[in-house]
Chain A
Amino acid sequence: MTTLADRPVTASTGSFKLSMLLNDSRYRSLTFQFIALIAIIAFMAFVGGNLVRNLTAAGLNISYAFLGEPSGYDINQRLIDYDSQSSHGRAAVVGLLNTLLVAFLACITATIFGVVAGVLRLSNNWIVSKIMAVYVEIFRNVPVLIWILIIFSIMINVAPSPRDFRGDDATASMMFFDTIAVTNRGVYLPKPIWGDGSMIVVAVLLASIVGIFAYRRYSRKQLFDHGKMVPVLWPSIALFFVPVILVQLILGNPITLSYPELKGFNFRGGITILGSLIALWFALAIYTGAFIAENVRAGILAISKGQTEAAGALGLRPNQIMSLVVLPQALRVIIPPLISQYLNITKNSSLAIAVGYMDVTGTLGGITLLQTGRAIETILLLMLFYLTVSLLISFFMNIFNNRMKLQER
């Protein structure tokens, strides 16, 4: 710890006087920063002390022991094993994964919605551009909670309930050759059953994904070095599907599908995507997509018209102009506000309880809080969690942003 007396005295003035802390511009800012720091620390100490004092007075204390105790409640959507005998800590992790799941899905979908709507809003087609303008204005000007509730109540009231699928006079039926059931409780999809040799199929799939990236790199090199346009989209799709399907057929169908079947009260034997997840995911995506559309439009408009005209003069087609000339430059403008939108999606996902989706606010900040009464502890944990996730998203998006920046040489 350095005291004031230890500070190196600058040669020009000879000796250090106390009054220089205020009068000398070299020290003044340090003095004020130091005073501000002391004031903030004192305030926090007062507030923290006040909290502890009042808690003691009310006979309460701060303790995280409840995290190890059995939770006693069930959660309908769990990505890891969990039952009512698991601990509150595990319930929090289940909720945390659910938050990350819906945030991840919504970020991707919102980006797709946003880019499509943003590009189409600048379309020369009057109807298309106006439809997109209506979409943006409607969705971003109504609170997201309302959208979540609207989409959820439409879903539970319009979609058939499982009992409508039963019997000879069923009013509802499964779609796509009886493989998919859409009900007001969720969507039931076929589930893959991993038989012998299925790992080979998965390995081939991973290899084709690597292959796709290698091919894209090759096509880029061709473009930059030789100015040749190599088709990318269709070869990529073919690379993705053809090897996997071939291997699956050659090995004699190691991966089979288990179809959902109506048993008892519900469909069983498939993958269930709960209605609450769909409603929350779709609402977050379509709401945030409207904001992203505006970011994308702003990014495109920021690119000078000369770029488009020059590209056109070189003989590029409109979709090539957009994907090869305009969008790569527009990304520099689009990405920073896009980070904010991703953060918004993650934080808005805490509205999940409105539709009964058990995210971390619903498990740790909801049921656990109410059953244990540990409000301060759980809220602090929640804040820590959202802060960490948001900072991580910012961190990775900033890396991405730096790579997309204009490379100045």
Chain B
Amino acid sequence: MNKTIFFGALATAALAAGIAGASTLDEVKARGKLNCGVNTGVPGFAEPDANGVWQGFDVAVCRAVAAAVLGDPTAVEFVPTTGKTRFTALASGEIDLLARNTTWTFSRDVDLKFEFTGVNYYDGQGFIVNRNLGVSSAKELDGATICIQTGTTTELNLADFFRGNGISYEPVPVETGAEGVQQYTAGACDAYTTDASGLAAQRANFEDPTAHLILPEIISKEPLGPLVRHGDSEWADIARWTLNALIAAEELGVTSVNLAELAAGTDNPEINRLLGSEGDLGGMLGLDSDWAARAIGVAGNYGEIFANTIGEATPIGLARGLNAQWINGGLLYSPPFR
């Protein structure tokens, strides 16, 4: 009896592991749909709108890849994942691409056998507190109760930060950002910590956003990016270069407005190679030549996506900061298209 249960579980695990095999590109094409893992709901990054259509900064990556591969930005099956389920979903083949503000770390890349295909948002972990606590620095949080999403890198950073500063805290683990916000607003925890972008996004939904302060300390590096499974480098290339195409488009001045005009051919050979009027970069990826033009055509270049989903004109109100192009002093730097 005991053995039956034991091996039954092994069988389930084996079935899940057995799915990896055939080329992901062929699978996606045969299915006619991209299975994309996203967050369960973070305003501005990934959240269904009033019509149930997923919108957001991470969602845009999924749509760009779907447009590049399948020619249809709506051919995406969005799979909401929690911090706990995301890696299992990707490793088991339930999703083809995970675009869910996931931090690129050594152990995830190497030990968990995933491949990060770039960084779409440079973030860092911050704290939000109620202004009436009178706290102005994270180092004053000695003895505080802090809500934290379980199973994330933020959990480890938090332990390191408090240990490094020799102060104590009491962690309250929560499963999703929504639960964390619920407990934080009810006063069950003094502070809530997650990536600073996430804090800004959640604060936008508070009853009175001005009553809450994001503390100045950023206690970690959180490069967030889309990732795929190890072992299918062709598929990883597609995801990587789709993101690079969005970033390069901003650098080269390709926008959703002038895309059609520039795609016909310009004097700039790099734009021509990117948009497919010169060379055959798409063919090398196993796609057609105007793959990048389709990806950019969904919602514009990186800068346009940023401005429309989480930029300063939106309720989220994030500044470009580290996420500006390298020529403007940021970290965004796409390798050349040639």
Contacts and interface: CB of A to CB of B under 8 A. Distances in A.
Given A51-B14, A59-B113, A72-B160, A383 B6 contact: yes
Contacts of A57: 20
Interface in B126-165: 132-133, 141-145, 150-152, 155-156, 158-160, 162-163
A76 B7 CA distance: 35
A46 to B, nearest CB: 9
Nearest to A376: B13
Contact of B5 (A47, A161, A383): A383
A199 interface: no
A43, A59, A356: which has the most chain B beta carbons within 10 Å?
A356
A356 B174 contact: yes
A153 interface: yes
A358 interface: yes
A379 B133 CA distance: 41
B10 A370 contact: no
B88 A353 contact: no
Contact of A380 (B6, B143, B160, B230): B6
B131 to A, nearest CB: 12
B335 interface: no
A128 interface: no
B170 interface: yes
A54 B158 CA distance: 36
Interface size, B (range): 35 or more
B171 A74 contact: yes
Interface stretch (A21-29, A202-210, A211-219, A261-269): A261-269
B80 interface: no
A58 B87 contact: no
Interface in A14-57: 40, 43-44, 47-48, 50-51, 54-55, 57
A152 to B, nearest CB: 9
Contacts of A47: 7, 10-11, 14
Contacts of A85: 163
A163 interface: yes
B83 interface: yes
A264 B142 contact: yes
Interface string A372-391: 11011001100100010000
B213 to A, nearest CB: 15
B13 A353 contact: no
A84 interface: yes
A243 interface: no
A394 B112 CA distance: 39
B172 A356 contact: yes
Contact of B87 (A55, A268, A354, A373): A373
B118 to A, nearest CB: 21
Nearest to B144: A265
Contacts of A74: 158-159, 162, 169, 171
Contact of B84 (A59, A76, A366, A387): A366
**Chain A contact residues, majority secondary structure:** helix
Interface stretch (B51-59, B185-193, B310-318): B185-193
B107 interface: yes
Given A74-B159, A161-B188, A153 B182 contact: yes
B269 interface: no
Given A55-B17, A76-B171, A163-B187, A370 B159 contact: no
A156 B172 contact: no
B64 to A, nearest CB: 28
A265 B135 CA distance: 11
A58 B17 contact: yes
B171 A371 contact: no
B2 interface: yes
B216 interface: no
B20 to A, nearest CB: 6
Interface in A337-377: 353-354, 356, 358, 362, 366-367, 369-373, 375-376
16 contacts: A44-B7, A50-B14, A50-B18, A51-B17, A85-B163, A156-B188, A163-B133, A185-B188, A265-B144, A268-B143, A367-B150, A367-B173, A370-B84, A373-B111, A379-B9, A379-B13
Given A161-B188, A265-B143, 20 more contacts: A40-B4, A43-B7, A47-B7, A47-B10, A47-B14, A48-B10, A51-B10, A58-B91, A59-B230, A83-B163, A156-B183, A156-B188, A164-B187, A265-B145, A275-B188, A276-B172, A354-B175, A367-B150, A373-B107, A383-B6
Interface of A: 40, 43-44, 47-48, 50-51, 54-55, 57-60, 72-76, 83-85, 153, 156-157, 161, 163-164, 184-185, 263-266, 268, 275-276, 353-354, 356, 358, 362, 366-367, 369-373, 375-376, 379-380, 383, 387
